[in-house]
Structure 1
């Protein structure tokens, strides 16, 4: 926890510790608990000078990437530190810089860091490729892809995802069909299926889905959700019933699907079946269940669900809070709403 890191920090300061290993451990503690600014301060101010900082830079840069655009400025400062300490040319540091800038949406900076990294490998290229794909810059992605000396399954999946997320399923499918069989993983297949689902083309989604040699929880849920959105609850239920080992993500897709098409009783039935299978619900489950209660206008059931949320200490995000307000309002209990 961040509190533990702060306690250690106080101890090191008061004891006047000059042990670089202790301070390096503290940087990692702060970074792992999303206390990026504290981690960066320890790195820049408290870590004993002449210490080998290189292994810590990727730790800090990954934390900056996780914070995304909120910490773009701090990421730039870390880049400057890397240049000053001559670590920017290190392959791991350079690759992490590229990834950090991409996740912050700063493609020009990512490309600059990429160009500054000597002896780039396929992982470095994949990091920049992911940035181009996420930004919808398929031209940039194709140019980079064409210049790569080798590719991995991640490379192919990332390129295909770029086209799929842009809604260009014709190109996504063309590149999927061009993917060497040994490079096709469950992720590659899933990207294409999910792309078709997002485009509303359930016929094409099902064709690829049925050909998959192995399926993960996400692709099952994606197809279930797709059928519900297409208004085919029967097909959605049939796919759900085929899932060999159902998890929370799968159940959430089923419950939300029924709630969204107004089949409130079936949504609640699915919720109770999920509990019978000892699957622990989360805030997204409860938001769908509350929506079903609101549609039914059942104050009694709604109150039971509210008590369940409190008893099980389920986190109340804004979906749950809005669901509670909506449920009580539609059940004509404005004192709660």
Structure 2
């Protein structure tokens, strides 16, 4: 969404085009820009479409995506007669933001009616939060179950290790679709039942890219690089998940050259693949290539910055590590700990202690690294004093 688009809506005023309003709200949901969302909403209230139910429902969704549950709720409360779609959108917003207790309250006490979307949303939310029994109870209580609900319960069973129950549900599912087969395949895969996963894969009437990726992941997670490779080569279409799964499988098996060749052949390199390759290059001592991959990244998250920082630190290149550390747009406990461990292992106690004292949050790894540095350098009294200052300790301490 652009400022020009919002300006155009403002120019149209009361008689603004409905399709433009809908398009802008959807765009704002995608961008998750709350300040733009509030500005857009205020302009929509001045149009003749301010009471359009479809548009109002999209506004609820927009605020949910932008993280403002309070405003999403306010839009619903302002509706003259919220429909089931309105309630489901609000319910989903609370679930997606991790507010399960409030979602349960909305579902149980506020919604005038439920449909399969409502039931399935709650079933999946309970499963993902670790409440398998609640998921199972909801599934059994559903007045009507569609294929989506059956698939969600199969996935919940797989996630919680109830493979036999997952298979029972799969066999009982009326009107199985490709998602049903994928859910059962994934349930077997998640629990290490590779032969069963393969039998499902071989029996699927139609294989989507998700199906191929599920089988690829099954082999990769089990450490079967040859099996993963065979599936990867046979795939008619590959997406980022396919490439990243195969690269990760190669790395986990210690086949770094294969990982590098796969990365080089990857049509569109994403953040995950690039970060993995920084780690790979660091592990094989190719710091120059790690830096080239890092420099070529169009976008970097904290994980990518930390990967490059740890590469410099583990190689003993403290100058470039510190230069990168200072450039980082944000730091987390991993960033601070990487630098501290590097200094401590090199015996640079003054640098390590100064950094430790500057840390906003200290991990147990950081405490242990400095403790070990004091001990190795013969500062046993300081090490003992430091040990007694530790908020917690483990077997390493």
Q: Does the 8 Å CA contact 1:302/1:327 hold for their aligned counterparts?
A: no
User: Highest Rg: 1 or 2?
Assistant: 2
Aligned to 1:59: 89
Q: 1:322 to 1:20 in 2, by over 3 A?
A: farther
For residue 126 of structure 2, the aligned residue among 101, 106, 115 is 101
Q: CA deviation at 1:208?
A: 1.6
The yes-or-no answer on 1:155 pairing with 2:147 is no
Aligned to 1:203: 226
For residue 72 of structure 1, the aligned residue among 76, 82, 100 is 100
Aligned to 1:282: 301
SS in structure 2 of the partner of residue 136 of structure 1: coil
Q: Does the 8 Å CA contact 1:255/1:268 hold for their aligned counterparts?
A: no
Q: CA deviation at 1:324?
A: 3.6
Q: CA deviation at 1:152?
A: 2.0
For residue 179 of structure 1, the aligned residue among 204, 216, 224 is 204
Separation of aligned partners in 2, 1:317 and 1:58: 36
Aligned to 1:15: none
Q: CA deviation at 1:140?
A: 1.9
SS in structure 1 of the partner of residue 87 of structure 2: helix
Which one is further off, 158-167 or 229-238?
229-238
Separation of aligned partners in 2, 1:220 and 1:26: 37
Aligned to 1:323: 338
Higher relative contact order structure (alpha carbons within 8 Å, sequence separation ≥ 6): 1
TM-score by length of 1: 0.79
Separation of aligned partners in 2, 1:136 and 1:43: 40
The yes-or-no answer on 1:270 pairing with 2:298 is no
Q: 1:209 to 1:20 in 2, by over 3 A?
A: closer
Q: 1:326 to 1:57 in 2, by over 3 A?
A: farther
Separation of aligned partners in 1, 2:300 and 2:343: 21
For residue 257 of structure 1, the aligned residue among 280, 288, 303 is 280
Separation of aligned partners in 1, 2:284 and 2:183: 37
1:67-116: per-residue Cα shift (whole Å, max 9, x none)? 44xx332232122135x61x12x232233232222223323332333344
Q: CA deviation at 1:19?
A: 7.0
Alignment of 1:16-55 (within 5 A): 27-36=60-69, 38=70, 42=74, 46-47=77-78, 51-55=81-85
- Matched positions, count: 313
Q: Does the 8 Å CA contact 2:325/2:335 hold for their aligned counterparts?
A: no
Separation of aligned partners in 1, 2:82 and 2:191: 43
Q: 1:196 to 1:35 in 2, by over 3 A?
A: same
Separation of aligned partners in 1, 2:37 and 2:213: 40
Stretches of structure 1 that go unaligned for 5 or more consecutive residues are 11-17
Aligned to 1:226: 249
Separation of aligned partners in 2, 1:58 and 1:326: 49
Q: Does the 8 Å CA contact 2:59/2:75 hold for their aligned counterparts?
A: no
Cα-Cα RMSD: 3.2
Separation of aligned partners in 2, 1:291 and 1:39: 42
TM-score by length of 2: 0.69
Q: 1:40 to 1:65 in 2, by over 3 A?
A: same
Q: Does the 8 Å CA contact 1:228/1:236 hold for their aligned counterparts?
A: yes
SS in structure 2 of the partner of residue 336 of structure 1: helix
Separation of aligned partners in 1, 2:263 and 2:306: 20
Separation of aligned partners in 2, 1:35 and 1:65: 13
Q: 1:80 to 1:47 in 2, by over 3 A?
A: farther
SS in structure 2 of the partner of residue 194 of structure 1: helix
Aligned to 1:13: none
